[in-house]
Structure 1
């Protein structure tokens, strides 16, 4: 069993937990310990685990990921008003080879997904996204992946998989279960024009850092459609992480990245959340702890909604444009918006019904002004291919 490879939480962290108040996370998380073994998985909502693999780091790491310090910062935070049952199943150490580590991560992820438990993976490097993506094999046919990253991470065609080229592996690896890829927060000067062109050719979605920062709500419909979310902390400002090397002066601030994390938690489709490229600094540990807290907070606000013209909880809006007739739905409960995309293949929908693409109110207003939303066009063209 892959779970046998998990290293229990250290005695140092367990000793720290003993002195926490009863309302702290550390008192309420069910932990993997040397003495008691793995916690009970039944009824668990979220499973946290670390992956210490860093051999495929683009910038070689001098020190191991300090999961103990992260856990101390996470455990000291207070519980929200949640129904979530949280388990911390320990860490995956480096295997004999990187592929060995990937295999263990893949098997642990698959086991959790099959149990309907949402994994929160804290990885040293973002290439670990690859085995987490492959864990959906046999569980979900087509995957929507959202990466929060300053780079697209395509790399060179012949380059070995690394933390800056794992997306090339995901796109080319068989079976190809990637239906859509979206990037939030890319910074143009880190990405070759060829990579930007590739995103366009494949009808993938990309949002520049400035666009998201100027309106954080743009991230919500993208994350609402995601199954797997991968966060590269190098999308965050260096000053927010307490580091200078390998990080940029530009990026999301702490409040913005926590808001995006909360949107990921609220999304009823998100089944796995990965946080990568953490640095061993106190600010980094505290920020990652708060990102995890905000994701779990979002989980407590999840509502399953399926817009329908027969449902009184939704209003249907039909917008005629010069080339298409667009049909929008607005929820009266959450005030969220969707738009129908008729050409998406029926096998991606239930009962051969028209697919619904999450969107914003601004998309509806743009359509009323005869401007068809770009995401709708990409989804429509993708369905035709």
Structure 2
């Protein structure tokens, strides 16, 4: 794949910023520019993908969102990526004649990048663009975990014909390739009891906004175990991100949103990340474009502090804890990294198979110590042994 096959090159309007400054983010990139497509992905570990396809209930069209985000991103200071890793800006995906054209074109790109071990960061479109990652995993016939950060739960429980920002999760939740889904930061006033019952009955999970308000680290295990993650700007309160279609006075703080993207960057398993929901016509001062750019920056910053940790193998900084649960008559096996403070727990699998190791929190450890059963552990246990 060459970038000119699928992408329009990066062409930004000139600003006062001196892009020749060697310390700027844009000096850290391999960029697809006019007449200079990217033909080799050697040493590339991250691909930036702009998608200018914003779908609303009444229309679909261009908002120039990717370039507005890109302009702000380029003006931040560069990140020193470890091990000679390179970041490539592929440009903006060619949109075709319909949203379906966009989904399938992006699917092809994601497949190529996935096969080469490259993390894809897709930005600028509406939330339904994540459907392309489902098409990608279906093409590979590979199960995956999906975590979103959204104010609402974007599913109806029905069988819609086409994905929209309001129903795209219906396609994920009905797919046999989705193993575990979780949403972070939903607000109870925007979520129906039927939606919550559906997640519970199908072994999925969610974290309310209030549960992470003063401790975003509670959400970290859900991002660490994800293969695909979707970050919706609409999860942020209006005062911090006015560039939204459906604004709300409540929501995540801008710094918490960036902290969550940083957790995603620290994950070894995530292969595709979506940053969606930015609506420029409502962003008069460019505040939301700056937030989106900073969210990408902190995501990449998370990659610089990533440390490969494999509990179960002899490592001095990994501590094992075995807790006997009297009610279940089962020994829970927890692991804690003394370096990062992250936790894991084993989930038993019947049939003589090796136990499954999942990310968890210190709260899960204390729950077991108090003879409680961690909800996420139980749901995954049921999926593996049901």
TM-score by length of 2: 0.91
CA RMSD of aligned residues (A): 2.2
Partner of 2:342: 336
What does residue range 242-253 of structure 1 map to in structure 2 within 5 Å?
242-243=242-243, 245-253=245-253
Partner of 1:305: 309
1:178 has 2:209 as partner: no
3-state SS of 1:238 partner: coil
Partner of 1:383: 384
What does residue range 180-219 of structure 1 map to in structure 2 within 5 Å?
180-219=180-219
**2-structure distance, mates of 1:332, 1:214:** 23
**2-structure distance, mates of 1:66, 1:371:** 46
Give the Å deviation of 1:253. 0.9
Which 10-residue stretch deviates more, 236-245 or 332-341?
236-245
Distance 1:152 1:100, change over 3 A: same
Distance 1:54 1:62, change over 3 A: closer
What does residue range 121-270 of structure 1 map to in structure 2 within 5 Å?
121-137=122-138, 139=140, 141-155=142-156, 157-160=158-161, 161-173=163-175, 176-243=176-243, 245-270=245-270
Q: What do residues 138-171 of structure 1 show as CA deviations (whole Å, max 9, x unaligned)? A: 5572100001001111125143321110111122
Unpaired runs of at least 5, structure 2: none
TM-score by length of 1: 0.91
Partner of 1:80: 79
Q: Is the 8 A contact 2:230 2:273 kept in 1?
A: yes
3-state SS of 2:49 partner: strand
Unpaired runs of at least 5, structure 1: 347-351
Q: Is the 8 A contact 1:225 1:267 kept in 2?
A: yes
Choose which of 308, 313, 319 in structure 2 pairs with 1:315: 319
Distance 1:272 1:156, change over 3 A: same
**2-structure distance, mates of 1:341, 1:60:** 46
Partner of 2:299: 295
Q: Is the 8 A contact 2:125 2:278 kept in 1?
A: yes
Partner of 1:349: none
3-state SS of 1:71 partner: helix
Distance 1:332 1:164, change over 3 A: same
Q: Is the 8 A contact 2:199 2:205 kept in 1?
A: yes
**2-structure distance, mates of 1:288, 1:159:** 30
Distance 1:272 1:244, change over 3 A: closer
Aligned length: 376
**2-structure distance, mates of 1:307, 1:167:** 32
**1-structure distance, mates of 2:305, 2:97:** 41
Partner of 1:325: 331
Q: Is the 8 A contact 2:2 2:39 kept in 1?
A: no
Distance 1:70 1:28, change over 3 A: same
Distance 1:300 1:80, change over 3 A: same
